[in-house]
Amino acid sequence: MKLTGIELLRVELPLVTPFRTSFGIEHSRNALLVRAVTDVGEGWGECVSIDEPSFSSEYTDGAIDVLRRFLIPPLMGTDVTAIEVAPRIAAIKGHRMAKAALETAILDAELRSTATSLASRLGGIASSVPVGVSVGIRDTLPELLDEVSGYIEDGYRRIKLKIEPGWDLVPVRAVRDHFGPDLMLQVDANTAYTPVDLRHLVKLDDFGLTLIEQPFDEEDMRSHIRLRAMSSTPICLDESVVSARAAADAIIMGACDIVNIKPGRVGGYLEAARIHDVCAAHGIPVWCGGMVETGIGRAANLALAAMPGFVLPGDISASDRYFDHDITEPFVVDSGSAMRVPTGPGIGVDPLPDALAAATTWREWIPATDSAG
């Protein structure tokens, strides 16, 4: 399969409500899409970086630059398969989100050419997967309870609360007391705490949480190990797990009970599948995280979550959780808090031309001739 051109597109989708986490507030999703054009067809990928290097060191303008200057040229105009992408750009350190978007677009094109679904390629076995919803930090408890109530009415059976110092025990207690012990409830700190907070975080044990996600800095394995020894709440790693090797190290060190796999964070769906396999071999359950993706990324995440080790509900959510209008046909949650896995070739969805045109704020076409010489 010869790569004949790459199109980079920035799209802006306003959020139905601002999404606040410990690292900032998002009012819209400014996504970077990658369209790979080959001699056998085309494919799509989505870069999950955000505008500023606050969630991670990656940011969207940087992703565009590294794609244009360093990641695309070694592949352009050559015969390439998806499994060859990572080795051929391995000399470029880091930039996993940009690499993931490029690999996914090439993988999508490859799978479409053979009428193979991404779920099938990854070894998915489920036709639908359980999903949950992530609830951002709110200004008041009544706002939080109203939002959670709305999601429960929408069919979600698992709620994840974003927390940070000063917004943790009280909101978690309020949600648990209001909705009762049967609600599947978990929290996500996005690295907001430090070792001095260990004893404070142990107090979350009172609320019967499914897990606490990434309380400490991604490089601070020691604090995660200590909290796991002190607390009865399962510890889930997110930002710390950037590869199958990192997952294996964390498991062997005793730093986690559960792993959240975000394909963009780990360099793509092929590496995400390897992390799934490592975790399965060690009896560690996994779930699929989300990064406020458009329907392009959401479809691919559902394919990943169809693998057998994904036994916990993921942060995939319905399209209308975030957007009034997506760039693909909307994804919906059924009455069983589950979402259908796409079965079409590749990622199984295509952008709607009018919706894509309306949302696109910038685009650049990179033909093979630009980098072949």
Q: What is the pLDDT of residues 287-302, one digit of tens each?
A: 999 999 999 999 999 9
Q: What is the pLDDT of residues 17-54, one digit of tens each?
A: 888 887 778 888 999 999 999 999 999 999 999 999 98
What is the pLDDT, as a whole number, of residue 300?
Answer: 98
Q: Find out if CATH 3.40.50.1110 is the number for domain 3-115+350-372.
A: no
Work out the pLDDT band at 268, boundaries 50, 70, 90. Answer: very high
> What phi, psi does 225 have (nearest 5°)?
-65, -45
What is the pLDDT, as a whole number, of residue 132?
Answer: 95
93, 99, 160, 162: the active-site residue:
162
Q: Find out if CATH 3.40.1280.10 is the number for domain 119-340.
A: no
Residue type, 100: A
Percentage of residues of the chain with pLDDT beyond 70: 99
Q: Residue 70 and residue 68: Cα distance in Å, rounded?
A: 6
Q: Residue 106 and residue 4: Cα distance in Å, rounded?
A: 11
Residue type, 242: V
Q: Residue 275 and residue 11: Cα distance in Å, rounded?
A: 30
Q: What is the pLDDT of residues 315-351, one digit of tens each?
A: 999 999 999 999 999 999 998 899 999 999 999 999 9
- Specify whether 2 is catalytic: no
Q: What is the pLDDT of residues 354-368, one digit of tens each?
A: 999 999 999 999 998
93, 99, 203, 262: the active-site residue:
262
Q: What is the pLDDT of residues 125-140, one digit of tens each?
A: 999 999 999 999 999 9
Average pLDDT rounded to a whole number, residues 273-279? 98
Answer whether 99's CB lies under 8 Å from 86's CB.
Answer: yes
CB atoms within 10 A of CB 203: 14
What is the pLDDT, as a whole number, of residue 92?
Answer: 97
Q: Residue 300 and residue 269: Cα distance in Å, rounded?
A: 8
- Specify whether 99 is catalytic: no
pTM: 0.94
Work out the pLDDT band at 180, boundaries 50, 70, 90. Answer: very high
Extents of the domains making up the chain: 3-115+350-372, 119-340
